[in-house]
Structure 1
Amino acid sequence: MTYCAAIRLKDGLVFASDTRTNAGVDHISTFRKLYQYGVEGERFMVLQTAGSLATSQAVFNKLQTDIDQCVESNINTVATLFDAAQMVGECMRDVMTHAQKVANDNNSGTFTSSFLLGGQIKGQKPELYMIYPEGNFIKATADTPFFQLGEIKYGKPILDRSVSYDTDINHATQALMLSFDSTIHSNLSVGMPIDFLIYQNDSFTMPKGRRIEADDEHFNKISRYWAKALRNTLVELPSCPDDYWG
């Protein structure tokens, strides 16, 4: 299992993905699930994934190979983010179809992956898409500014209560960190390190991003502050009315 999330705000985009793919008593695997594409000064895109690792890696490799071999139509040459989402969806369907034939397996769920694609092309507004295993996709809106993949249930309430399209990008980043912190505390299959990336609208830069390790001072400080604030708030809540006690 994994946890990926992306937020589209009025001032920018925030992306985060954990790197754990297999958790057990004696085995934990770490793989990158957030990849960046683009051309400095012209376009910026981030692709995140959850699901079959083999399918996801095949999609990433195909997209990068097309760029490296200067294929006329690749993710760095498409006209719009919509076209890029279509390209990812088509690539995923091709990979899954091939995998099923090789394995002679009718259980398509074995090979499924989902993706989040966000970014901006010069002359256009920033966009964020969720791409389903079937290859179809939906776009984030001002009313629905964030998408999640994987183990979403522990981190979703924090984002639901604290993030809107108009939220300051710094506050949204902190909320996303807390969303991951809550998920990691509640589910062993999600874990450090976390790949974080922030993009300012109309900058058309290729941000380096940051990999947050288990000993990251800022992340752990926010985690401690949040835990303390929850405990303090719980104590300060109004007492239950007498009729609650029967």
Structure 2
Amino acid sequence: MTYCVAFLLDAGLVFASDSRTNAGVDYISTYSKMHVFQPAPDRLFVLLAAGNLATTQAVLNQIQRDLRRHGVGPMGSAVPGMPVGSGPGITGEAVDPPLQTSVFVGLGATAPAPVAAVAPEAGHPTAGTAAAHGPPSVAADPPQEQGDEPANLVTARYLFEAADYVGRMSVAVQEQHRATLHQSGASVEATFILGGQIEGDRHGLYLIYPQGNAVMATRETPFLQIGESKYGKPPLDFVGHCGLSLEDAARLCLISQVITRRSNLSVGPPFELALMPANELRISRRIKLAKGAPEIGRSMQVWAACMQEGLRRLPRFAWEEDPL
């Protein structure tokens, strides 16, 4: 199992994920659940994944295949036989150790500002129904001709089209293996959170269900969770809101991860955090916190101390005030 959370803010987006997979008490391994895609200079996506690991990896492979078909290669490498795209070049990740991520970028153009270096250490869906900051305008869009290829990460004009694309990929992969896995009693389902921004559209978040449909984060429900979500939800409910800074929301998402780890052994470090400022189409900060990282221990100490202080300040019962 796993736990991923993403937060919609006025200032941008924050993503957090653990890296533990659990196929039994005697088989626990580490896989990154956070994947970054920048197929063109006018768009940036972050995909969080939970559920069947084979399904999520197959979906990622399908996405990468489609990007290559559009002339977009990994880390700026050329795709033989494909036309050169118009992407931004390599997005530099100054993080040590290197993160397990899928950063796909277009070919042959100038690189954007690199991701800043940071500390080297390293399913219960939330539903919403309204647009994150109001519905996007579609009046200026030309009508899509019948028979046009469905939108993907390269051609999508709006974030909801990209979410629909990931949902279709997920359903197709699940259908391919559902029968055989069902015979063994295993679940083929996977759940995703897709966040990002396409130039001209607002930044946003979508939770993509195993059935392929999706719901978006809203100002009333600004965070989305997948995986083991129940343990880390209370801090988000009580403290979280759209007006937080990116750094405060990142701290809140980290403590949500740490609390979940304390209550569920199927969630654990390394924890990954990524901050995406609104309207900048870049990841401004990304860190990977391994087991024993001081940020994890210090965050838990401070949070526990605040809880203990809150307990001492709660109102006394009547018999405590006047025991006689």
TM-score (norm 2): 0.70
**Aligned counterpart for 2:190 among listed residues 113, 117, 126:** 113
Please provide the CA RMSD for this pair.
2.3
Partners of 1:83 and 1:108 lie apart in 2 by 33
Q: CA deviation at 1:104?
A: 7.2
Contact preservation (8 Å) 2:206, 2:214: yes
**Are 1:200 and 2:200 matched, yes or no?**
no
- Provide closer, same or farther for how the CA distance between residues 7 and 109 of structure 1 changes in structure 2, counting only shifts above 3 A: farther
Partners of 1:99 and 1:199 lie apart in 2 by 35
What is the total number of aligned residue pairs between the two structures?
A: 244
Aligned ranges 1:83-94 → 2 under 5 Å: 83-94=161-172
**Aligned counterpart for 1:132 among listed residues 209, 226, 231:** 209
Residue 153 of structure 2: aligned partner: 75
Q: CA deviation at 1:233?
A: 2.2
Which ranges in structure 2 are unaligned for 5 or more consecutive residues? 72-148
The percent identity for this pair of structures is 38
Partners of 1:149 and 1:105 lie apart in 2 by 22
Per-residue CA deviation, residues 104-131 of structure 1 (Å, 9 max, x unaligned), is 7479971111110000011111011011
Partners of 1:165 and 1:22 lie apart in 2 by 33
Q: Could you say which structure has the higher helix fraction?
A: 1
Partners of 1:144 and 1:109 lie apart in 2 by 32
Partners of 1:43 and 1:208 lie apart in 2 by 17
Contact preservation (8 Å) 2:276, 2:285: no
Contact preservation (8 Å) 2:222, 2:242: yes
Amino acid at match of 2:220: D
Partners of 1:108 and 1:208 lie apart in 2 by 41
Residue 74 of structure 2: aligned partner: none
Q: CA deviation at 1:40?
A: 6.1
Per-residue CA deviation, residues 28-86 of structure 1 (Å, 9 max, x unaligned), is 21111110111464111111111111111100111012112327853133221111111
Residue 169 of structure 1: aligned partner: 246
Contact preservation (8 Å) 1:43, 1:121: yes
Aligned ranges 1:40-51 → 2 under 5 Å: 41-51=41-51
Contact preservation (8 Å) 1:38, 1:44: yes
TM-score (norm 1): 0.91
Contact preservation (8 Å) 1:40, 1:205: no
My pick for the range that moved more, 174-183 or 23-32, is: 23-32
Aligned ranges 1:168-187 → 2 under 5 Å: 168-187=245-264
Partners of 1:140 and 1:168 lie apart in 2 by 17
Bigger radius of gyration among the two: 2
